[in-house]
Amino acid sequence: QSQASVGPKDWLFGSSNRQGDKVILDTKMGLNGMDLIIDGWFHERGVLWPGQAMSLKVKQVLDHHRSKFQDILVFESENHGNVLVLDGVIQVTERDEHAYQEMIAHLPLYAHPNPKRVLVIGGGDGGVIREVAKHPGVEEIVECEIDEGVINVSKKYLPSLAKGYDDPRVSVKIMDGAKFMDENQDSFDVIITDSSDPVGPASVLFETPFYNAMYKSLREGGIVCTQGECMWLHLDLIRPLIDSISETYSTVEYAYTTIPTYPSGQIGFIIATKGRGECKKPERTPSDEILEGLQYYSPELHEASFVLPAFAKRAIFGKK
């Protein structure tokens, strides 16, 4: 995992230290999530969205500690339910989490005709595996999370997400995702990487070697779907990564969802395939019963999510 170059004050006040395209957070000192609560409001300020902030009113702090990897904060908010914050960045609020969890899971899964084995890297809160478990044809779900602390606080304070762990098809590996994939090649039909932003322990998940590792761990005809940052903020990260992995994967596409508590209210997904065509149209559709329980994903939205605003389409896929 990446080492220190940006101190906690840099993180709070928006200066960054870049090595190539990678922003690096001081994981030795780290930041104290409690410092971001001022006058009863949590303020999310980050190097990846300089000049803007997201604020939520805090009812009470439920948990705050530092794991081996990152600062973990959980608080009950005034109108977004419980909120999970890692290294000062909002990961989940109970109010809008479905807009992210459903899309990152169902875009690749419904684009695949018959997924049997699914790997989820990151996503220790359990929301993605909860969604994967809604596919009755899936026989095995492997959750690979490097920080067990995230799993533990989610089971305690985010039970509506962590109920994903109750499914008997789920097995949990507390380890580095790249190492697990290296040991399990040609193994999975779908790989979903639900990572935090490319700072601190998650920075390696936004680099070409990690995508190469996913490719090797995919079965022929497989699909990867990863958290792909924000088109309003991170085109300088998205385009080089897509260009780089396009040399390896059969197809590489970009879709997005809208979610109020993520920076600029939007986050994207990089969806790439091995030995098959694009994923813009679902191969399967949810049963009426499953569809009734979904709050965001639908077959119509599946197709619509790949339609990008003109500026983003030009920036990500247009001529250089």
| Active-site annotation, residues | 194
Residue 42: in which H helix or E strand, if any?
strand 41-44
Residue 94 main-chain phi, psi, to 5 deg: -65, -25
Residue environment code for 62-101, b if the CB has 16+ CB neighbours within 10 A, otherwise e: ebbeebebbbbbbbebeebbbbbbbbbbbbbbbbbbbbbb
The DSSP result for 70-105, as a single string, is SEEEEEEESSS-EEEEETTEEEEETTTTHHHHHHHH
Residue 175, both tokens:
């380890």
170-173: strand order across its sheet: 170-173, 140-144, 117-122, 188-194, 218-227, 266-273, 251-258
Check residue 213 and report its DSSP letter: H
Token look-up 């959750």 returns: 143
